[in-house]
């Protein structure tokens, strides 16, 4: 089995660097075009399941990248709940919270690293029981956390796995050691 992860296309807040957790912000025109450019990367893959975050930026990316595909909404795929930091850039947050990192510190009135780790672990357990190739359309920081947890790393290490908008990554298992989870491909965009 392989788990394919797509981060949604560009939004206005992705451009400005504002933390976009549960705010339901649409794709920009460029974000829609980015999503369409994913089609050739996905055409030859037979997905057993296609899941999307319920937020419109992820759903729209899925609709454009896989026209006509049967899409299932999964609330586990939403972005990190940034709580009080929703809509604020990291540069502005560190002015009042010196050295802050979402992956270490979480967000006041939002999700903590342990909460998002538990959410990612629940999803991984469910995905591994499915078999076959699965596509997830989700968000940047949740996708980073999911990938870190896939290979057994703590949430803090997710900081090392940034995702570009409308990128494709693949989680799988080692060819030679099928019980070892691996990151097979990372942050692929159609322009590469």
Residues 136, 8: contact at Cβ < 8 Å? no
* Rounded Cα–Cα distance for residues 120 and 81 (Å): 13
Q: Tell me which of 10, 34, 79, 111 is the catalytic residue.
A: 79
The reply to whether 8 belongs to the active site is yes
Strand boundaries in 54-156, DSSP class E: 72-73, 133-138
DSSP structure class, residue 25: P
Angle at 14 between CA 11 and CA 18, to 5 degrees: 125
CA atoms in the 13 A half-sphere facing the CB of 130: 17
Residues labelled as active-site residues: 8, 79
């Amino acid at each position: 089995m392989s788990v394919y992860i797509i981060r949604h296309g560009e939004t206005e807040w992705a451009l400005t660097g504002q933390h976009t957790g549960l705010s339901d912000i649409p794709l920009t025109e460029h974000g829609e075009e980015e999503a369409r450019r994913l089609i050739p990367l996905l055409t030859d893959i037979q997905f057993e399941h296609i899941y999307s975050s319920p937020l419109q930026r992820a759903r729209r990316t899925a609709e454009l990248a896989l026209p006509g595909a049967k899409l299932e909404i999964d609330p586990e795929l939403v972005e990190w709940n940034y709580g009080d930091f929703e809509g604020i850039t990291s540069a502005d947050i560190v002015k009042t919270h010196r050295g802050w990192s979402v992956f270490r510190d979480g967000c006041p009135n939002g999700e903590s690293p342990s909460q998002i780790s538990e959410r990612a672990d629940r999803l991984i357990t469910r995905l591994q029981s499915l078999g076959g190739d699965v596509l997830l359309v989700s968000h940047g920081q949740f996708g980073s956390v999911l990938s870190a947890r896939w290979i057994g790393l703590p949430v803090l290490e997710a900081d090392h796995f940034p995702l570009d908008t409308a990128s494709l990554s693949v989680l799988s298992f080692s060819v030679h050691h099928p019980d070892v989870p691996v990151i097979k491909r990372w942050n692929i965009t159609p322009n590469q």
